[in-house]
């Protein structure tokens, strides 16, 4: 009996997603159409990919507030590279490397100077955002080649290309977190950092790796965002860090570390995507949408907390 | 009668933690409550102190039925508990913790001066080695325990529950606790005294209640039962309560420590005991060897070679393991399953090309579970839900899988029950037979004398004496306390 109840609560995010999906299918005739669903996928892909990285960070007991700013920085630099003749591939690679570099910076700063990640990434948020505005003069990067839109808007065998990118990233992150030593240590560090140190685990190295992966995934997301907007926006990604953290938390991630999963995060991100899309379709005031998402976050964490209290002790 | 518990039951989900909890405590009585870990002592006491509610059964306070919904209910009626695990606020001072939740006020402000003054008076009255104005987070587990006692004393209750108050204390502090307990009962306060140290009950407790598997199996006047009988009721099976170990001929030198004032070596097959009072530097010695506080002057040799140990990682790579005195804080990832904890120090061995091999890991975990007799249904069980003894076994299993050659045990039997203690000792014996070197730090002198081949006595950060196996408790204490 205990086991079954536990399972139901664990499945709660998934069940919520299904219910939400069914509700919207009935409530709006425009919801269950290929056009609308692929637009949901495209809209959520960016948050989704960033949330994958954030899952690793949160499982390790850390937090990354700088992902929105990294998104803007990487997207701006990546598109500038394309415009200045590096080619689309070169530009995408540049964007990816920018993300990786910022992730490394976050990881190295937290581990070497031993500043809490909340503070470090609050700092790099400001630095990355400021540098982006300086480099771009505050103006969007325009003049991107038409083909660049394929990344964000194209389809491959009838499937939105971003969905394939997302699945690819999700599978890799899943394997990393659940099947590799890196993932194992990520959970261990998040669950009990002291015990991890005492077990001889090179905690600093693995912490840096976690932030680096998160940064790189944000780099990928930045180029998708740029491709969808067909500009490099220095102001892109404002407030994304909160959406990304929310996706992880709705999916069962614990901000004290040691808990969280890739599947949970994907579900969390899609719940938020459907809430936004459904509100649009049903004509709900966009200001109210924010309040709804806020309520969902609190409800998700409250239910998860209730589950843990019930089964501890 | 002060407190009567009649057929108390408590379930967590589908797990029965307590099936038949029955005991009576009179005013002015010291009532011992014993049982193996997981027998239900803590659950029963959490019910009495209002931390959890019971499902069935009746609790009576001065012959009136009561049910506590929150700790404040118990507190209001005069029940206080001295917790085994520290429930203190690390960033506040000793005095602030003693008064936490009942701060004296001066208008809208906390009367900080009075807090310090009253705390100082309380600490002085009992000769505790505490500074009322120092922060709690830097203090040792023993000192935190003393603060817990001060908290209970200050609330001047009708019933005080002591949950293994002496498990982290030195001999002199232990005696002080006994004096406190006696003084309190003389004042008419009822005491429930939980302990694993049966020898300390003599001359302290009036009556005893024994729990086994969630049931009260025996209640009697203490004088009517001897230790053998108590152990028999606790475990429900015969165990040899005195552990005897055959010394071996030690092999090659595994560890040689040359630090200012600390010179000793450990050979393969040897168990070297380290005795001393709290603060004598025993834990610090372990931490130095393990690279937590690296060597400043002097050297450490492993298997004949000088090694630079700058971090726990260096120590682990050199084949050293540290089983700390606080396994929840430094030994285990409590939210993670048994199998993950067992392989944590040697994850490479269950990985191929960086990918975890589930079947290999499961095999390792199953093997460890059987070899160390870790009592759990599955290797997927999260470590935090197991009893202290089983948790300790997981920590040991972790280091065995890492194939550590030199094992430093810091208070290995702290907070674990009689049965598990014997198992830990025979495991240490086995390891010695396999040629590993063992350092055992313990405040339990009888245990040290039974298990160790020779005993180093520490005092003020120095090794004050090295005694042979056949020494006496008096001799050890003498060196621990007195300058020669």
**Which of B12, B14, B317 is the closest to A313 by Cβ?**
B12
Same domain for B384 and B450? yes
d(CA B355, CA B151): 50
Alpha-carbon separation of residue A140 from A132, A221, B337 (angstroms): 10, 17, 50
Q: Are the C-beta atoms of B29 and B192 separated by less than 8 Å? A: no
CA distance A244 to chain B (A): 24
Q: Do A180 and B317 touch (CB under 8 A)?
A: no
Contact of A256 with chain B, judged by CB distance below 8 Å, is answered with no
State yes or no: pLDDT of B41 exceeds 60: yes
Same domain for B282 and B227? no
**3-state DSSP call for residue A273?**
helix
Phi, psi of A69 (to 5 degrees): -70, -35
Count, residues in chain B: 484
Same domain for B68 and B211? yes
pLDDT digits (tens, 9 = 90+) for B378-417: 899 988 888 888 899 999 999 999 999 999 999 998 878 7
Q: Do B316 and A188 touch (CB under 8 A)?
A: no
State the average pLDDT for chain A: 90
Phi, psi of B428 (to 5 degrees): -65, -40
**Which of B313, B331, B351 is the closest to A195 by Cβ?**
B331
Q: A308 falls in which pLDDT band (50, 70, 90)?
A: low
Contact of A181 with chain B, judged by CB distance below 8 Å, is answered with yes
pLDDT of A182: 94
State yes or no: pLDDT of B240 exceeds 80: no
Same domain for B18 and B129? yes
Asked whether residue B245 is domain-assigned, the answer is no
- Tell me whether strands B437-441 and B271-276 are parallel, antiparallel or unpaired: parallel
Phi, psi of B117 (to 5 degrees): -60, -50
pLDDT of B40: 87
CA distance A258 to chain B (A): 7
Q: Are the C-beta atoms of B24 and B47 separated by less than 8 Å? A: no
Contact of A180 with chain B, judged by CB distance below 8 Å, is answered with yes
d(CA B235, CA B258): 44
**Cβ contacts (< 8 Å) between B354 and chain A: which residues?**
180-182
Domain span including residue B48: 3-235
Q: Are the C-beta atoms of B295 and B477 separated by less than 8 Å? A: no
Phi, psi of A36 (to 5 degrees): -70, -45
Same domain for B60 and B166? yes
Q: Are the C-beta atoms of B447 and B419 separated by less than 8 Å? A: no
Q: Give the residue-averaged pLDDT of A39-52.
A: 93
pLDDT of B176: 79
Describe chain A by its helix, strand, coil percentages, rounded to 5: 80, 0, 20
Contact of B347 with chain A, judged by CB distance below 8 Å, is answered with yes
Q: Are the C-beta atoms of B30 and B2 separated by less than 8 Å? A: no
- Tell me whether strands B253-259 and B215-221 are parallel, antiparallel or unpaired: unpaired
3-state secondary structure B203-253: CCCCEEEEEECCEEEEEEEHHHCCHHHHHHHHHCCCCCCCCCCCCCCCCCE
**Which of A6, A185, A198 is the closest to B330 by Cβ?**
A198
Asked whether residue B244 is domain-assigned, the answer is no
Q: What are the residues whose beta carbons fall under 8 Å from the beta carbon of A309, sequence distance 6 or more?
A: none
Q: What are the residues whose beta carbons fall under 8 Å from the beta carbon of B254, sequence distance 6 or more?
A: B266, B267, B268, B302, B303, B405, B406, B436, B437
Q: What is the CATH number of the domain that holds B451?
A: 3.40.50.300
State yes or no: pLDDT of A311 exceeds 70: no
Q: At CA A129, angle to CA A127 and CA A135, rounded to 5?
A: 95
Looking at per-residue pLDDT, the higher value among A27 and B414 belongs to A27
pLDDT of B156: 65
Residue at which a domain ends, from B207, B235, B263: B235
Q: B420 falls in which pLDDT band (50, 70, 90)?
A: confident
Q: B14 falls in which pLDDT band (50, 70, 90)?
A: low
pLDDT of B484: 46
Q: Do A258 and B336 touch (CB under 8 A)?
A: yes
State the average pLDDT for chain B: 87
Alpha-carbon separation of residue A227 from A42, A168, A237 (angstroms): 11, 18, 14
What b/e readout covers B291-315, taking b as 16+ CB neighbours within 10 angstroms? bbeebeeeebebbeeebebebbbbb
Asked whether residue B248 is domain-assigned, the answer is no
Q: Do B354 and A182 touch (CB under 8 A)?
A: yes
Asked whether residue B243 is domain-assigned, the answer is no
Same domain for B371 and B223? no
Same domain for B375 and B463? yes
Same domain for B271 and B314? yes
A198, A204, A205, A312: best to mutate for the B interface, most B CBs within 10 A: A198
Residue at which a domain ends, from B205, B235, B265: B235
**Which of A183, A195, A310 is the closest to B333 by Cβ?**
A195
Q: B447 falls in which pLDDT band (50, 70, 90)?
A: confident
> What domain count does chain B have?
2
Same domain for B197 and B319? no
Restricting to B residues 305-334, those with a Cβ less than 8 Å away from any Cβ of A are: 311-313, 315-317, 322, 324, 329-334
Look at A11-20, A131-140, A269-278, B207-216 and tell me which has the smallest mean pLDDT: A11-20
Q: Give the residue-averaged pLDDT of B134-160.
A: 83
Residue at which a domain ends, from B201, B235, B269: B235
CA distance A271 to chain B (A): 27
Q: B81: part of which helix (H) or strand (E)?
A: strand B79-82
pLDDT of A309: 62
Same domain for B219 and B284? no
Q: A165: part of which helix (H) or strand (E)?
A: helix A161-179
State yes or no: pLDDT of B173 exceeds 90: no
State yes or no: pLDDT of B297 exceeds 50: yes
State yes or no: pLDDT of B85 exceeds 70: no
pLDDT of A8: 66
CA distance A187 to chain B (A): 8
pLDDT of B166: 79
Same domain for B220 and B364? no
If you ran DSSP here, which 8-state letter would residue B161 be given? E
Displacement of CA B29 from its chain's centroid (Å): 25
**Which of A6, A192, A200 is the closest to B334 by Cβ?**
A192
pLDDT of A304: 72
**Which of A180, A185, A198 is the closest to B312 by Cβ?**
A198
Where does residue A304 fall: left (phi above 0), alpha (psi -120 to 50 degrees), or beta otherwise? alpha
pLDDT of B398: 94
Q: Do A195 and B332 touch (CB under 8 A)?
A: yes
pLDDT of A312: 47
Look at A295-299, B344-348, B374-378, B478-482 and tell me which has the smallest mean pLDDT: B478-482
User: Which residue has tokens 């901000």?
Assistant: A255
State yes or no: pLDDT of A305 exceeds 80: no
Contact of B378 with chain A, judged by CB distance below 8 Å, is answered with no
State yes or no: pLDDT of A290 exceeds 70: yes
Same domain for B427 and B458? yes
A193, A200, A252: best to mutate for the B interface, most B CBs within 10 A: A200
d(CA B337, CA A83): 51
Asked whether residue B241 is domain-assigned, the answer is no
Q: A2 falls in which pLDDT band (50, 70, 90)?
A: very low
């Amino acid at each position: 009996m205990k086991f079954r109840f536990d399972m139901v609560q664990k499945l709660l995010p998934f069940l919520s997603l299904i219910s939400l999906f069914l509700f919207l299918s009935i409530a709006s005739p425009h919801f269950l159409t290929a056009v609308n669903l692929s637009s949901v996928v495209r809209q959520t892909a960016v948050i989704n990919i960033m949330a994958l990285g954030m899952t690793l960070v949160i499982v390790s007991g850390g937090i990354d507030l700088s992902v929105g700013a990294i998104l803007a920085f990487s997207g701006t630099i990546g598109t500038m590279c394309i415009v200045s003749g590096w080619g689309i591939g070169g530009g995408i690679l540049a964007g990816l490397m920018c993300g990786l570099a910022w992730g490394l910076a976050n990881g190295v700063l937290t581990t070497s100077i031993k500043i809490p990640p909340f503070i470090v990434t609050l700092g790099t948020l400001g630095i990355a955002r400021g540098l982006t505005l300086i480099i771009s003069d505050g103006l969007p990067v325009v003049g991107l080649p038409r083909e660049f839109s394929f990344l964000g808007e194209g389809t491959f065998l009838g499937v939105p290309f971003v969905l394939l990118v997302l699945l690819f990233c999700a599978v890799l992150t899943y394997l990393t977190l659940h099947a590799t030593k890196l993932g194992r240590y990520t959970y261990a560090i998040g669950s009990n950092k002291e015990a991890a140190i005492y077990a001889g685990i090179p905690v600093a190295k693995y912490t840096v790796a976690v932030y680096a992966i998160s940064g790189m995934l944000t780099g990928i997301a930045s180029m998708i965002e740029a491709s969808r907007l067909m500009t490099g926006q220095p102001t892109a990604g404002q407030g994304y860090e909160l959406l990304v953290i929310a996706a992880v938390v709705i999916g069962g991630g614990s901000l004290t570390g040691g808990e969280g999963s890739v599947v949970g995060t994907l579900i969390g991100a899609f719940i938020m995507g459907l809430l936004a899309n459904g509100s649009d379709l049903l004509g709900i005031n966009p200001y109210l949408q924010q309040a709804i998402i806020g309520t969902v976050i609190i409800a998700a964490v409250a239910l998860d907390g209730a589950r843990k209290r019930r089964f501890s002790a | 009668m002060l407190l009567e518990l009649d057929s108390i039951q408590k379930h967590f989900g589908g797990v029965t933690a307590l099936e038949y909890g029955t005991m009576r405590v009179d005013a002015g009585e010291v009532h011992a409550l014993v049982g193996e870990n997981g027998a239900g002592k803590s659950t029963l006491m959490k019910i009495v102190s209002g931390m959890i509610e019971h499902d069935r059964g009746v609790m009576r306070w001065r012959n009136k039925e009561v049910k506590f919904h929150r700790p404040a209910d118990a507190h209001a009626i005069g029940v206080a508990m001295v917790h085994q695990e520290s429930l203190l606020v690390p960033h506040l001072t000793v005095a602030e913790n003693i008064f936490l939740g009942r701060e004296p006020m001066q208008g809208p402000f906390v009367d900080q001066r009075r807090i310090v003054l009253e705390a100082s008076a309380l600490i002085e009255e009992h000769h505790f080695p505490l500074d009322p104005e120092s922060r709690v987070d830097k203090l040792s587990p023993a000192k935190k325990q003393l603060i817990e006692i001060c908290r209970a004393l200050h609330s001047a209750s009708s019933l005080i529950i002591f949950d293994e108050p002496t498990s982290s204390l030195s001999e002199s502090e232990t005696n002080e606790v006994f004096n406190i307990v006696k003084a309190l009962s003389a004042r008419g306060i009822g005491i429930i005294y939980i302990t694993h140290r049966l020898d300390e009950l003599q001359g302290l407790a009036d009556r005893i209640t024994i729990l086994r598997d969630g049931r009260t199996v025996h209640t009697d006047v203490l004088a009517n039962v001897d230790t053998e009988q108590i152990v028999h009721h606790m475990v429900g099976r015969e165990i040899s309560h005195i552990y005897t170990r055959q010394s071996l001929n030690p092999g090659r030198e595994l560890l040689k420590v040359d630090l200012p004032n600390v010179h000793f070596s450990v050979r393969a097959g040897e168990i070297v005991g380290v005795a001393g009072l709290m603060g004598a530097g025993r834990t610090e010695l372990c931490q130095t060897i393990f690279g937590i506080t690296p060597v400043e002057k002097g050297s450490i040799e492993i298997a004949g070679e000088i090694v630079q140990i700058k971090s726990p990682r260096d120590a682990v790579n050199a084949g050293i393991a540290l089983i700390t005195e606080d396994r929840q804080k430094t030994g285990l990832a409590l939210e993670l399953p048994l199998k993950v904890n067992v392989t944590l120090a040697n994850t490479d061995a269950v990985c191929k090309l960086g990918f975890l091999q589930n079947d290999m890991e499961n095999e390792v975990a199953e093997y460890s579970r059987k070899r160390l007799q870790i009592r759990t249904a599955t290797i997927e069980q999260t470590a935090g839900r197991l009893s202290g003894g089983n948790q300790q076994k997981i920590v040991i299993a972790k280091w065995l899988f890492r194939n550590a050659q030199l094992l430093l045990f810091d208070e290995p039997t702290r907070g674990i029950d009689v049965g598990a203690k014997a198992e830990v000792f025979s495991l240490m014996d086995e390891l010695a037979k396999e040629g590993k070197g063992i350092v055992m730090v313990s405040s339990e002198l009888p245990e040290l004398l039974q298990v160790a081949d020779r005993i180093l006595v520490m005092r003020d950060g120095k090794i004050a004496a090295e005694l042979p196996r056949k020494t006496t408790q008096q001799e050890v204490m003498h060196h621990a306390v007195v300058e020669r």
